[in-house]
Amino acid sequence: ARPAEIFGLAGESGCGKTTVARMILGFEEPTSGKITYWRKDGAQVNRRNVWRTAEIQAVFQNPFETFNSLRQVDRYFFETLHNFGLAQGRKKAEERIDEALRTVGLSYPEVAGRYPSEFSGGQLQRISIARALLTNPSILIADEPVSMVDASIRISVVNLFRKLKEEQGMSVIYITHDLATAYYVCDWITIMFRGNMVEMGKAEEILMRPRHPYTELLRESIPQADPKQRWQRKTETVELEREEYLRAGCKFAGRCPHVMDKCKREVPPDLDVDGVFVKCFLYVQR
């Protein structure tokens, strides 16, 4: 078996990252191609199948939307155990819940009987991660898990994913628009643009030496210490997004500094450039 890895999906909002996650979870069906789980075709695995949902769990962007404000958070833990047939009496359930919470730096007594409003965003996100751990999943999908968390505690949440990989052998699909945290936590990364994978490989290699022009632009857009640099950046319009999605050739042709005529007409090939997957005409016949 392959060792556990943290695999990043990175790109601007609207590039298709969350859609990929929803297809993996079975919330949406692919329009073409297929998703394979341990050599099993996802389309042939019923979305209600306990095996599938237990093996793959998710943590979403906004922890305040994950939990109903009128329900005590520990009820979600008991319901998860019940739904997956893992509840073996109240005492055993509490022990299992406490074990999951201690993995993320909390405990059952700290959570029992309390409502979401009694926790900070960082605490709620850790509680959300703990709930996902109850089924002992092989894969955890983390969709923008720190974007709604206070900057001062983001690193502690990100470190949880490294801990899960190293101590529990759990693989993580880390979805983000933040290349700084992706560089810190990911082993591998895919860069997406307008529904296309444009570059994929080892995270350090891609983020330190990007091949695709879009990856270069994305890396340069990381916020700088000088606030003037941030506010001088151009914001793209909805019209531009629509135009790029409908473009026949390379979706990035309208903004690429290296654009060629064929980029506007033809879909770029999938190339292996020094062990990195790149979708770009720049590397043809090099």
CA–CA distance, 163 with 170 (Å, rounded to integer): 9
The span from the CA of 207 to the CA of 220, in Å, is 10
Which residues sit opposite 278 in a β-bridge?
Answer: 199, 271
The whole-number pLDDT of residue 230 equals 41
Q: Which residue in 201, 199, 208 sits closest to 187, CA to CA?
A: 201
Sequence-ordered list of residues with C-beta below 8 angstroms from that of 118, at least 6 positions apart, any chain: none
Confidence class of residue 30 from pLDDT cuts 50, 70 and 90? Answer: confident
Q: What is the pLDDT of residues 253-272, one digit of tens each?
A: 988 999 999 999 999 999 99
CA distance 120 to 196: 36
% of the chain beyond a pLDDT of 90: 65
Pairwise CA distance, residues 115 & 268, whole Å: 51
Choice between 238 and 109, residue whose per-residue pLDDT is larger: 109
**Which residues in 96-221 belong to E strands, given as ranges?**
139-143, 171-176, 188-193, 196-202
Judge whether 188 and 5 are in contact, CB under 8 Å.
yes
Nearest-angstrom CA–CA distance, 73 and 256:
48
pTM of the model: 0.87
Nearest-10 Cα torsion for 69, 71, 74, 78: -130
Q: Is the pLDDT of residue 49 over 80?
A: no
The better pLDDT of the pair 221, 75 is held by 75
The residue type found at 135 is: T
- Residues 59-86: pLDDT tens digits? 999 999 999 999 999 999 999 999 898 8
Q: What is the pLDDT of residues 117-156, one digit of tens each?
A: 999 999 999 999 999 999 999 999 999 999 888 888 889 9
Distance of alpha carbon 246 from alpha carbon 102, whole angstroms? 48
Query: Measured between alpha carbons, how far is 142 from 119 in angstroms, rounded to an integer?
Result: 20
Domains and CATH numbers, the chain: 6-186 (3.40.50.300), 192-283 (no CATH)
Q: Are 36 and 212 in contact (CB under 8 A)?
A: no
pLDDT band, residue 225 (cuts 50/70/90): very low
